[in-house]
Structure 1
Amino acid sequence: MKEFKAIIIDPIGLHARLASIVSSEALKYKSEIKITLPKFNKEGNLKSIMILLAMNIRKNDEIIVKATGEDEELAIKELEKVFKEANII
């Protein structure tokens, strides 16, 4: 299992456009990829836009993204890059 932790910096949080960007990236990998919102003890599948939106992730929330599977290292590396490039974290 590989993971990264980050704080959301987007003023609106993880809204529909950003959720679409990260879930599309997550779908490229075979690994199981989860996002956790420790503040509210919520966990969801990063590959699902609907779950991401239902988690109601806001600015200044801490998130943990975890990947488990054969391409977990690449998945985490690329997902962290996408989160940063989209100015989410």
Structure 2
Amino acid sequence: MAEKSFTITHEAGLHARPATALVNAVNSFTSDVNLEANGRTVNLKSIMGVMSLGISKGTKITISASGSDAEEALAAVERAITTEGLGE
């Protein structure tokens, strides 16, 4: 299993457009990819799950992936977070 943490720095938090970008970034991978924030964990391939967390600015999130392409999935998430200006 691979894991990486980020802090959301975007003023609007993880709102609909960037959440969609994160979901799209991992949908092509076979690995299970999860997002954990505020003590809750959801499937990162589910836009409804991600949006249900209501992630605001300053929230620490942890992305974990397990499977044959877990490292590649995490790299895709990191690229999406950077591209969308979401966090560090």
Instruction: Bin the TM-score by the shorter chain.
Output: over 0.9
C-alpha deviation, 1:56, in angstroms: 0.4
Say if 2:25 is the partner of 1:25: yes
Task: Please give the residue correspondences for 1:10-89 in structure 2 after superposition, counting only pairs within 5 Å.
Answer: 10-37=10-37, 40-89=38-87
Q: How far apart in 1 are the matches of 2:50 and 2:64?
A: 14
Give the aligned length. 87
Q: CA deviation at 1:85?
A: 1.2
Please state how far the C-alpha of 1:79 moved relative to its aligned partner.
Answer: 1.0
Stretches of structure 1 that go unaligned for 5 or more consecutive residues are none
Q: Distance in 2 between matches of 1:51 and 1:16?
A: 12
Give the RMSD, CA atoms, in angstroms: 0.7
Distance across 2 between alignment mates of 1:72 and 1:34 = 11
Distance 1:77 1:20 in 2: 17
SS of residue in 1 equivalent to 2:4: strand
Structure 1 CA distance for aligned equivalents of residues 79 and 39 of structure 2: 25
Q: Which runs of 4+ in 1 moved over 6 A?
A: none
1:78 maps to amino acid: A
